[in-house]
Amino acid sequence: MEQYMIKMENVKYEYSSMGEDSQLMAINSINIAVKKGEHLVILGHNGSGKSTLAKLMNGLLLPTEGNVYVNNMNTKDEDKVWDIRETAGMVFQNPDNQMVATIVEEDVAFGPENQGIPSLEIRKRVDEALRIVEMTEYKKHAPHLLSGGQKQRVAIAGILAMRPDCIILDEPTAMLDPIGRLEIISTIKKLNKIEKKTIVHITHYMDEAVEADRVLVMEQGEIVMEGTPREIFSQVEKVKRLGLDVPQVTELAYELRKEGINIPSQILTVEELVKAL
């Protein structure tokens, strides 16, 4: 079999609208293959279907049509539900909804305890997970006293302690301030590059997509653009028509080019723009 972590084949997902017979198509005929070790970012504004897509990826929702495979396991296969959730861990928008314990390290231990892991092994995993997200010194703290970014890092540690190969993050920075967002982005990068986790990061912040290997853009339940961050963001007008922004530096380069200044269209970082100018 090919080395895919997640594969979606002709996936559709319909919601029934309240009390009516009509169906709302949230996901329409999507085909995606996420390679092992890939850092994939899925962009789209609210209502584009990206959160539904995230929930389909680890079996929280089952497709109305088509199939979703996680490490070659079909999410419709009831015997595989636990294996799938252990393979693909999910981090949500609101870190407060993911906290279960009154002490950070107990919170991180919650998942592996439910997996029935022996306590010595749990201790090891909790310490390792907190080290990876750089929250070791807070292990005896109460989660509700942490900042948003710190809470979200603890939530990520809780997923890491279950040793998934793939982590799906559904708008993990939506509720955070700029500093918290930076903390999470650097954590995601580290998980992908150093811990070799497959990352699916769903967001509507363009600058969070710059580090990805590949970007998909969703609109009305369909994938309307696909490519590397450079390929996507060099199409400034198209991205804007979809109701999204481009990274500020790319925007600046675009405006300068409109004024007739000859600089390349595929600029993503401040350094690149400085060099070009």
Kindly state the tokens that stand for 3.
């080395």
Is 22's pLDDT higher than 60? no
d(CA 208, CA 40): 11
3-state helix, strand, coil in the chain (%, to 5): 40, 25, 35
In a domain, 234, yes or no: no
pLDDT digits (tens, 9 = 90+) for 123-169: 999 999 999 999 999 999 999 899 999 999 999 999 999 999 999 99
- What is the domain count for the chain? 1
Range of the structural domain that residue 222 is part of = 4-227
Above 80 in pLDDT, residue 19?
no
| Domain-located, residue 249 | no
Residue 263: inside a domain, yes or no?
Answer: no
In angstroms, how far is the first alpha carbon of the chain from the final one?
47
Q: Are residues 235 and 225 in contact, defined by beta-carbon separation less than 8 angstroms?
A: yes
| CATH code, 157 | 3.40.50.300
26-73 pLDDT per residue, tens: 888 999 999 999 999 999 988 889 989 999 998 999 999 999 999 999
Is 134 within a domain?
A: yes
* pLDDT of 122 strictly over 90: yes
Q: Considering the domain boundaries, does residue 242 fall inside one?
A: no
Residue 258 lies in a domain: no
Tokens 């929702």 identify what position? 61
Can you give the pTM of this predicted structure? 0.91
